Amino acid sequence: MAVKDKLKEELFPTIWCPGCGIGLIMTQLATVMDEIGLDERNTVIVTGIGCTGRMGAYMRFDSVYTLHGRTLPVAEAIKTVRPELNVIVVSGDGDTASIGGNHLLHSIRRNPNITVLCNNNEIYGLTGGQAGPTTPKGTNTVSSPAGTVASPVNLQGLVNTNPQAYYAKTTVYHQGQMRRAIKEAIDWPGFSFVDITSQCIENNGRRIGFPSANEMLMYFKKEYRQAPSAARHLEHHQLGIVKGSPEAAVPVAPTAGGDGHSAE
């Protein structure tokens, strides 16, 4: 097998704009899948709506292209019915953190053994560049001409409300680190989330002053720094992994005389 066997190259070129970051994620995902032996008999891909949602169509797997925001309930149900399958969700920040935000909140606490790869380009690209849930405060977009007024969703904080979950922050520039994070996340025995900063040059980058996708990648290279390996929390523009522990204590049902905490 080879990486290209994971892709439906006969459908290339993809619909993604020149300079888009999604292809870089797809390449690394396909590489990991090849490396660890994921194929159409042991793995299902679930994608949402947005540019990222098209990825399932280009991969040689059974793939569910869900409604906008609904990847997680679909993916969780697949994993429940077929625990032997690897279930990999690939979606954008808007699908995952805005319209799908309630499902994200509850998937995190249910801790299903699924992996979420979030193409976090900080914009609604497919619909033309409107502000999204992870758009940095003050960003000028086609729906926020005076700059966005809300803070971005804290994905790391959200995922880490579950002490048994896995969270990794990476970017499409840091390909090696992204690949390692994807691999670890798929191996993780519980909810795993890879938050991948990427670029949308067409519907965001140029408006905020980047002449090309390359400048955006160079910006990721310059701005993002590796966090210390033992970090329990990643600072702004830090790359790294905040792993919970599958054995971490979680609150349990109260019992008379109990302390309300127990390893589960």
Q: Is 240 helix (H, G, I), strand (E, B) or coil?
A: strand
Query: Considering CB under 8 A, how many residues would be counted as binding other proteins?
Result: 39
> Smaller CB distance to other proteins: residue 42 or 151?
42
Backbone region of residue 28 per phi and psi (left: phi > 0; alpha: psi in -120 to 50; beta: other values): alpha
Contacts (CB under 8 A) with other proteins, residues 160-179? none
Q: Which stretch binds other proteins (CB under 8 A): 52-60, 175-183, 226-234, 252-260?
A: 52-60
> Smaller CB distance to other proteins: residue 64 or 168?
64
**How far is CA 67 from each of CA 96, 111, 257, rounded to the nearest angstrom?**
12, 22, 46
Smallest separation, CB 50 to other proteins (Å)? 11
Contacts (CB under 8 A) with other proteins, residues 67-106? 67, 70, 72-78, 80-82, 85, 102-103, 105-106
First to last CA, the chain: 39
Smallest separation, CB 26 to other proteins (Å)? 14
Q: How many whole angstroms separate alpha carbon 137 and alpha carbon 57?
A: 33
Residue 46, token pair as written in the block: 């679930």
Q: How many whole angstroms separate alpha carbon 97 and alpha carbon 139?
A: 18
Residue 249, token pair as written in the block: 């204590």
Smallest separation, CB 60 to other proteins (Å)? 5
Site string for other proteins, 11-40 (x = CB under 8 A): x---x------------------------x
**Do 89 and 47 contact (CB within 8 A), yes or no?**
yes
Smallest separation, CB 86 to other proteins (Å)? 9
Q: Is 22 exposed, middle or buried (0-12, 13-18, 19+ CB in 10 A)?
A: buried
> Smaller CB distance to other proteins: residue 80 or 226?
80
Chain CA centroid to CA 37, Å: 21
- Which positions touch other proteins (CB under 8 A)? 8, 10-11, 15, 40-44, 46, 49, 56-67, 70, 72-78, 80-82, 85, 102-103, 105-106
